[in-house]
Each structure stands twice: as C-alpha cells, then as structure tokens.
Amino acid sequence: MVDGYNDDHSSDHTVSCIDNDQISIQSSAVSSVLPASFTLQPISTQIPTRFKLAKGYCRHRHYAESLSECKFILLYAYQLSTFRERLSTVQAVVFILRKLGQQDLDAQYILASTYEYGVPDTINSQTDPLFAPNPTLAFTAYLSAAKRGHIEAMFKISEMYHTGIGTRISRGKAIHYLRTAAIKHHPQAMTQLGLVLIHGKYGHPQRIRDGVVWLRMACRFATVQYPDALYLFAELHINGLTDVIFKDDRYVVELLERGAKLEHAPCVFKLAEAYQNAWFGLDCDMKKSFYGYCRAANMGHLEAMLEMSRWYLVGAKMDLDGFVLEQSNEKAYQWILKSAKAGHARAMFGIGHFYSEGLGVVKNTDTALEWYRKAAKL
C-alpha cells in the first residue's frame, strides 16, 4: 500500500483504464536513482518505491519523469496482492495526476483517459472496479487539455461532442474541434474532416474539393495509429470521384502498400484481393495473395479469416511459382470458426455448413442449425 497523497475527495471521483497505446514505460526515469537490479524485482515490490519517486519528481517539477512513474503504476497496480492495496494505490496515483495535469498537458490527457476507461480490478473481475469510468469527468479533463493546446485531446473532444458522451451533442462544436485538430496535423482529424466535406455530413455543406485536400493531407501524415486515410483515398481512386479525382490504378497500389507497411489490415486485405484477381495493373500472384490474406487474418480482419478458410478448403498448387497449399478441412474449419465467433455473418452461415457436412469437425446437425439461426439474426 502507498501513502502520502490521500485526497479527501478521491472517493468522489472515478478513473479509467489507460489505453495500452497511451502507455510508454520508461525505466530510464529510475536508472539514475536505483540500481539496475531494481527493475528485475517483482512489479509488486517496485510499486511503493516508484510511487515515492512519482511524488518526489512532481514536487521538484520533473513532470515528465513523474508521469512516467504514474503510468507504470497504473498499468501494473493489478499485481498488488489485496484489493485495498490496489484501490489505495490507484487513488493516490490519480491524485498525483491531477496535480501534474495543472502543469503538464500529457498528464492531463492521461488523467482524462483514466477517467474515460476506468481501472478494472483484473485480479478479481467479480469485484467492483478500482475506479469506474466517468464520462463527465473525462470530458472536463479532455476539454481542459484541448483548450491548452493538446492535439489528441482536441480530437477526443470533437468525438465526445459528436456522440454526446460526457456532454450534450453539439455538431457545431464537434466540427470546430475537429477542424482545430486537423489544422494541427492530427491524421484522423484530417481524415474525418475530409469525409465530412466530401459527403456533406452532419449538416455541413458539401465541399468535395476541400475534402479531397484534407484527405490527401491526412495521407501525408498517416501513422500506425491513424492509417485510415490511405485506404479511403485509395478507394476514391479506384473508381474516381466526379471531376475531382480520376481513376489511377498505380496510385491505388502505392497507397495500399503504404497502408500495409503501417499494419493497416484493410490495406493488406485489399492488396491480397488485387494479387488474386490481377486488379490495379498487378500480375496475378497467388502466393502473394495467400500470404496477404494470412497476414490480414492474423491482424483480426474477419473477411480475411473467411478467405483463409476458403483457401484451405480447396488447397492450391501453382506450378509456375512453386506455391503449394495442402488442402485441410481442419484448418479451414479453424479459420471460419474464428471469423464466426467474432460476428461475421457469412462465416456464421458457413460454419453451419461445416457442422452440417462434418468438414473438419464432427458432424452435428443441432450445432449447424444453431449457427444458421445466429447468422439469420444479423
């Protein structure tokens, strides 16, 4: 259990789980203070010392270092032995984050993220969370960060005004913060603003040319976290768009390949389709197609999982490039089952056929009917 920052009002607040993408653990923050062997100790024994460091860094205005320790503690607090210990630790860290947030925008954003997602007690899922999500507090914290210039918070506030989570729906304010984040080169904000202008969404007048400009800009700034613009812009160039965008197969492939390098599953899947069907000026290449489907499927792309099932169901042998895929009903069943369990309607229907015919699984008419019913409901 940690001590020190016991906020009188901490019980009135709820916090949320920090998204893993927002967490970067920096052991360098403690390297100059603690021996190297410290980081090899069990996490539960590190937390009290790291909490003292977080307080000390905050007190001496080393905000980035304090934030690093706070993120570490929030990420691993679940490893503490008792619920009371886990609860008091998270409460104390949130109190530090409130203080940090007054001076450091990243800390304010992490605090808002914590309010938004909650901190579950992963040791015992039957108990109450260490802190429950609180959309209202999340909105307030995000708004504070956005008004002070935090770009990611601007984008988040735009989403919250659009959905009405934590605040009232306001299309005008949603567009305002979306545009503000886009001007600051937030890739997803540029993407969404481009779509709003191209399609005239949310009561905004349609301005196709302006929308295309924003979407093109979003492609320039695409990242692993925000790669969507590359796929969307590629789609526009597949068929063209009025007299603004013309069909360009070579550019489509370029955009899809850039998206694939950023691990964007839809881009990987579309390239696999292109190699299978010789689209966009590409030569038919079944080997590249298969491995593209396999890669997209392993990224969680449901349609790619279904394609993998089809490949294994029939097998493949291409003498020209030496590509051979042994037919396997069992592997076909495994892939279609993954897709069906994730909610893909055609996969649900397909898995019914597998059970009906006994393909890769023991024949079971009742289970087949159950899957057919599930598919019919979608």
pLDDT at 23 exceeding the cut of 60? no
Residue 178: predicted pLDDT? 97
Ranked by mean pLDDT, the top range of 20-29, 83-92, 97-106, 120-129 is 97-106
Could you tell me the pLDDT band of residue 318, with boundaries at 50, 70 and 90? low
The C-alpha atoms of residue 154 and residue 188 are separated, in whole angstroms, by 11
Tokens of 7: 């906020």
| E strand or H helix at 115 | helix 105-117
259-305 residue pLDDT tens:
999 999 999 999 999 999 999 999 999 999 999 999 999 999 999 99
Q: Which of 27-36, 81-90, 146-155 has the highest mean pLDDT?
A: 146-155
Model pLDDT, residue 315: 85
- The pLDDT of residue 15 is above 80: no
Question: Is-contact 181 151, C-beta < 8 A?
Answer: yes
Global pTM value: 0.82
Residue 82 in this model has a pLDDT that exceeds 90: no
Mean of pLDDT over the chain: 87
How many percent of the chain have pLDDT more than 90? 71
Express each pLDDT in 184-220 by its tens digit: 999 999 999 999 999 998 888 899 999 999 999 999 9
Q: Which has the higher per-residue pLDDT, 75 or 347?
A: 347
Q: In b/e form, how buried is each residue of 81-111, taking b as 16+ CB within 10 angstroms?
A: eeeebbbbbbbbbbbbbbbbbeebbbbbbbb
Instruction: Give the type of residue at 26.
Output: Q
More confident residue, 62 or 23: 62
**178 or 320, which is more confident:** 178
Buried b (16+ CB within 10 A) or exposed e, 331-345: bbbbbbbbbbeeebe
Q: Judging by DSSP bridges, how do beta strands 323-325 and 316-318 pair with one another?
A: antiparallel
